[in-house]
Amino acid sequence: MIIALFGAPGAGKGTQAERLVVKRGLVQLSSGAMLRAAIAEGTELGLRAKDIIDGGDLVSDEIIVGMVEARIDDHDCAQGVILDGFPRTVTQAYALDEMLLGKGLSLDYFIQIEVDDAALFARIENRAAKTGGARADDNAATLRRRLAVYHERTAPLLPYYAKKGVLRSVDGMNSVDEVAAQIDTILG
Ligand code: AMP
pTM for the structure as a whole: 0.95
Instruction: Read off the amino acid at residue 188.
Output: G
Residue-level pLDDT, tens digit, the chain, 188 residues: 999 999 999 999 999 999 999 999 999 999 999 999 999 999 999 999 999 999 999 999 999 999 999 999 999 999 899 999 999 999 999 999 999 999 999 999 999 999 999 999 999 999 999 999 999 999 999 999 999 999 999 999 999 999 999 999 999 999 999 999 999 999 99
Taking Cα atoms as reference points, which of 99, 105, 112 lies closest to residue 160?
112
Q: 16 CB less than 6 Å from ligand 1?
A: no
In the three-class reduction of DSSP (H, G, I as helix; E, B as strand; rest coil), residue 157 is classed as: helix
Domain residue ranges in the chain: 2-187
Q: What atom in ligand 1 is closest to the CA of residue 85?
A: 3
What's the one-letter identity of residue 11? A
Taking domain 2-187, whether its CATH number is 3.30.420.40 is answered by no
Please state, in angstroms and rounded to a whole number, the distance separating the CA atoms of residues 145 and 141.
7
48, 50, 71, 135: the catalytic one is: 135
